[in-house]
Amino acid sequence: MLVRALEGATRRDYGAARMIAQIFTVIAPVIFISLLGYIWERRRMPFDTAAMSYISSYIGGPCLMMSTLLKSEIDLGTAARIVAAPILLITVMGLIGWGMSRALKLPAKIYAPVLMFPNSGNMGVALCLFAFGQDGLAYAVTYFATMAGLQFSVGVSIASGKLSVKGLFTNPVLISIALSGVLMALHVHPPQWTMNVMGLLGGLMIPLMLLSLGTALAKLRVASVGRNLGFSLMRLGGGFVVGFAIATLLGLEGAARGSVIIQSAMPIAVFTYMFAEQFGNEPEEVAAMVFISTIISFISLPFLIGFALNL
């Protein structure tokens, strides 16, 4: 009996060690590449954030979307449910943000968006790739593209106080998703050389976005903690709970389910701060929440990834 007990304990220890190693394999690239960007900015090395953003948005992003989706085996029904997930997320989290803002007598146009829009691009896409491989990448980029379109339409409308739908029709990432959907529905396969070009250019996006995240964090300054900590925790914890509920409601399973939960539980999007700065919506407060939520997420990532991998 003692021998069997020792063997059982050894197997459990081995299983735990294997799971820890698997989780570290997923989160290490995100943490270390972001840290590289942070150090790069702190040492004041040249980094054109605007240029990197344009390259990611207009070249890397669309090419990654098309090359990933056209190579994947994701069916249109699952893709439609992945598109629905971020729409449901911003609706529910927006209502929570509006309620919290009203209860605390704070302006909703400043505090609701921080709960609505997770950093599904800079962090979420990479995490889903390393956690679930190419299938996870396909689900993650579909989620991210939808969220990007919502952020540049609904997000801009909230921040500016004016209705804006331009982002839904001019976002290059969303256009690439729509074009990919048409090609997949028609069973049209682009020439291999086209796929090779898109694959190489799409490979730019993830490292560039992680480096940009690090440089952005190095520039942000925490003006205060207090309520900013509360909103940061709600973005992470609330996003996880709502994301789990949405994935269950939509009947998603496996990598699709895990990807939606991971994407929904990401920290506050850096673009939320950029919009706050652009429209004069207390950017210092928003910067503090972006910074705090991102730092907390680095601590909570092992638990999030472990949960997603064991679904």
Q: What would the mean pLDDT of 1-25 be, rounded to a whole number? A: 64
Nearest to 298 by CA among 30, 119, 16: 30
Q: Which two tokens stand for residue 110?
A: 């400043």
pLDDT over threshold 60, residue 276: yes
| The pLDDT of residue 283 | 85
Contact predicate 27/127, CB 8 Å: yes
Q: What is the b/e burial string over 160-184, where b = at least 16 CB atoms within 10 angstroms of the residue's CB?
A: eeeeeeebeeebbbbbbbeebbeeb
The arrangement of secondary structure in 14-47+73-189+206-309, i.e. its CATH architecture, is Up-down Bundle (1.20)
In angstroms, the Cα distances linking 84 to 72, 222, 234 are: 19, 34, 22
As a whole number of angstroms, the distance between CA 144 and CA 272 comes to 15
- Distance from C-alpha of 191 to C-alpha of 212, rounded to nearest angstrom: 32
Flag whether pLDDT at 12 surpasses 60. Answer: no
Q: How confident is the model at residue 6 (pLDDT cuts 50, 70, 90)?
A: very low
Q: What is the DSSP letter of 269?
A: -
Q: Which residues of 282-301 are buried (b: 16+ CB within 10 A; e: fewer)?
A: bbebbbbbbbbbbebbeebb
Q: Where are the domains of the chain?
A: 14-47+73-189+206-309
How high does pLDDT run on average in the chain?
A: 87
Report the pLDDT averaged over residues 249-259: 96
Element (H, E) at 213: helix 205-219
Of the pLDDT bands very low, low, confident and very high (cuts 50, 70, 90), residue 131 is very high
**What percent of the chain shows pLDDT beyond 90?**
45
CA dist 80 and 53 (Å) reads 27
DSSP letters spanning 12-55: HHHHHHHHHHHHHHHHHHHHHHHHHHHHHHHTT----HHHHHHH
Residue 257 pLDDT level (bands cut at 50, 70, 90): very high
Copy the structure tokens of residue 244.
């789990």
Encode pLDDT of 67-95 as tens digits: 888 887 778 789 899 999 999 999 999 99
Q: How far is CA 10 from CA 2, 17, 20, 22, 310, in A?
A: 12, 10, 15, 18, 20
- State the pLDDT confidence band at 168, using cuts at 50, 70 and 90: low
